[in-house]
Structure 1
Amino acid sequence: MTTPETSTATTVAARAHARAQHGRVVECMPQLPPPEGTLWAETVAGGNYTHLAVPAGTELTLTDTEGDACAHLLLYVTGRPWERLNAADTVKVQWNAYLGAGSLLLSDQGRVLATLVEDTSGRHDALTGTSAAARNTARYGDGSAHGPSPAGRELFKLAAAKQGLTPRDLPPAISLFRGVRAEPDGSLTPTGAAGPGARVTLRAEQPLTVLIANTAHPLDPRPGYHCSPLAVRAVPGRPTAAGDPLRTATPEAHRAFLNTDAANSTTLEAR
């Protein structure tokens, strides 16, 4: 029942109601101001999204707090959004479809966008991409961004718009915390999640714009829509240093870092 104290029927009452929310804390929201030493901290609800721009060197840690999150991820070079995450090149350049600690997330320019420096999950997917509205509508009855079972692409559209990007700027995403296995016949079998507390840390090797859609994996075999909260934390850091073994772990990694160094040097000179 609406009372005079909670009514929003007038401007004055609406303002009073809005101001009464000051200081209220809920489970899924950004922490403002962020904790000391942190650039950004947020808990993203299942079926929701976030977006942020981070400087080079930032360490972005994602945590599957309850064991049922699925972080669909897109990365763009800030100020150069045509250079973006390329899932296909990430897989084929490194001769490995299964992401883990030490994996590089690459652009189609052969440059490193981010390095996966820590991984306690081991359950990721660089092959399937995120869900679409038509598929979610067919499976769950509604795939719209604000419905009960939002599709990843619909959430990405909202996140992209807030960073000046359009639907045409959305490439295939990679998915963290939900794994798949490629079978001999080319089909993909879901391997599930790692469980509560699984954690991934990415190091930004360039200034990055990050889009995250936390929504059910498109190959989740369960009949219902399942997705739990995702914790996101960004702290300052430095890009992978010249003597770091990650840079020369493979010939492909070495070349990708050299390409990145060259691009960063050119950008700095242009400034």
Structure 2
Amino acid sequence: MTAATLPLVQSPLAPEDAVLSVTVDAGDGYVGLIPAGGSFRIVDLDGNQAADTLFYDAADIGNRYSAMDTIRAQGSAYLTAGSRLLSGDGDLLLTITADTCGRHDTVGGACAQESNVVRYGMHTRHQHACRETFLRYGARVGIGPRELTHNINFFMNVPLTPDGGLSFADGLSAPGKYVEVRAERDVLVLISNCPQLNNPCNGWNPTPIQVLGWWSA
């Protein structure tokens, strides 16, 4: 099933009713708590921007999002509305309840200074990367290098090749597209708004995203 044929699901939640509204600049990050039952939306403001995202059980950060368990349970390498995001312990952390983009990557990983060098050359060694953002914001809530794990690349287009490899392709999103999740338990969300300049995942021009939240204040 291609992204063009995936069912798009709108949210009934209105931005003006959100209790959380934060703009995350290109290359910056966000960390926060989504309480059980709360809804959390990531908006691709200008289109074609990858939002690298990690989720953790707030009561036990060792119980964190697992791409392998999520892919195995749903039988798909891509995420969209209806996808259940599982932890390494097999617990349900969140459910994607709305998606106006159609497909999100959970296998491409996050950029790091080291992987940039391997992929793109020594001239990228000191470019900012998602791993550094994860560590900077994660430190605020006790997430360090040992707690970094598989991340979701919301809005990012990573097609699987016929030989089982991956390719980083131009995005499928557009201005105002969003993805929304419902927390099935108290969850920590950690986001790096990807600064990658060496492949087309951000359209060669990283741009801001917005995060919105709906729950009891």
TM-score calculated relative to the size of structure 1: 0.67
Q: Structure 1 residues 227 and 188, CA, compared in 2 at 3 Å: closer, same or farther? A: same
CA apart distance, 1:71: 0.7
Q: Is the 8 A contact 1:132 1:143 kept in 2?
A: no
Superposition pairs of residues 242-257 of structure 1, within 5 angstroms: none
Residues 1-271 of structure 1: pairs in structure 2 closer than 5 A: 37-136=17-116, 139=120, 141-142=123-124, 149-193=127-171, 194-216=173-195, 220-221=199-200, 225-236=204-215
Look up the equivalent residue of 1:177 and give its one-letter code. Answer: F
Counterparts of 1:197 and 1:189 in 2: how far apart (Å)?
A: 25
- AA paired with 2:211? V
Aligned length: 199
Aligned to 2:4: none
| CA pair 156-81 structure 1, distance change in 2 beyond 3 A | same
- Following superposition, the deviation at residue 180 of structure 1 comes to 1.5
How far 1:41 moved relative to its partner? 1.2
Q: Which runs of 5+ in 2 are unaligned?
A: 1-14
The alignment partner of 2:78 has SS state of: coil
1:58 CA displacement = 1.1
- The sequence identity of aligned pairs, in percent, is 35
Any idea what SS the aligned residue of 2:42 has? Answer: strand
CA shift digits 1:99-149 (9 cap, x unpaired): 1110011101111111000111123111111101123356384555xxxx4
**AA of the residue aligned to 2:22:** E
For residues 181 and 40 of structure 1, do their structure 2 counterparts lie closer, same or farther at Cα, with a shift above 3 Å needed? same
Q: Which amino acid aligns with 1:111?
A: D
Take 1:45 and 1:70, find their aligned partners in 2: how far apart are those partners?
Answer: 12
Preserved CA contact (<8 Å) 1:90 1:104: yes
Q: Deviations over 1:139-170 (max 9, x none)?
A: 384555xxxx4211111011110111211100
Query: What is the RMSD of the two structures over their aligned residues, measured on CA atoms?
Result: 2.4
Deviation at 1:219, TM superposition (A): 7.8
Q: Say if 1:87 and 1:161 are closer, same or farther in 2 by CA, change over 3 A.
A: same
The superposition leaves residues 69-122 of structure 1 with CA deviations (integer Å, 9 ceiling, x where unpaired) of 211110111121110000111111211111111001110111111100011112
In the alignment, the residues of structure 1 paired with residue 100 and residue 66 of structure 2 have an alpha-carbon distance, to the nearest angstrom, of: 23
State the shift of 1:192 in Å. Answer: 2.6
Q: Which entry has the higher C-alpha Rg, 1 or 2?
A: 1
Q: TM-score, normalised by structure 2?
A: 0.83
Which 5+ residue runs of structure 1 have no aligned equivalent?
Answer: 1-34, 238-271
Q: CA distance change for structure 1 residues 36 and 78 in 2, over 3 Å: closer, same or farther? A: same
Q: Distance in 2 between matches of 1:143 and 1:41?
A: 34
User: Which structure's relative contact order is higher, taking Cα pairs within 8 Å and 6+ residues apart?
Assistant: 2
